[in-house]
Amino acid sequence: MEQKQYKFMRENTFLEVHCIDLIEKMQDANVSKLAKAFQVTRGAISKVTKGLIETGAIERYQKPDNKKEIYFKLTEVGREIYGEHEKMHQTRIEKDGDFFSPLSEEEKNQLIGMLNKIYGQIAKELKNLGMDNYI
């Protein structure tokens, strides 16, 4: 795969990319909905969305009948990041299919169990380091 497809990963954090992903997929994305989806504080999402607005990946809008609430939508830049992210996932799924297809259901379940344990340990360590935004 050519390097350009991973440009978004060099220029954006994990949380920024996944915030873009959710804004595209979520109807009426706002700070509260995003914070709940990521299980992080509203302050953390406010910081991420502010940065995404500054880089031109998303923009704010309000509904004519609700001037209190602020919502987010992707810009052209954000849609490009979203598209690159989706391509990366699709490529990974295709590559993973070659590995997983010969495994039995029992082998797949054992592998999932091990990966969940590894993820739990990594998440615990990141939380202890104050790096919750990488979980």
Per residue in 53-64, pLDDT tens?
Answer: 999 999 999 999
Buried b (16+ CB within 10 A) or exposed e, 35-74: beebebeeebbeebbebbeeeebbeeeeeeeeeeeebbeb
User: Is residue 114 very low, low, confident or very high in pLDDT (cuts 50, 70, 90)?
Assistant: very high
pTM exceeding 0.75: no
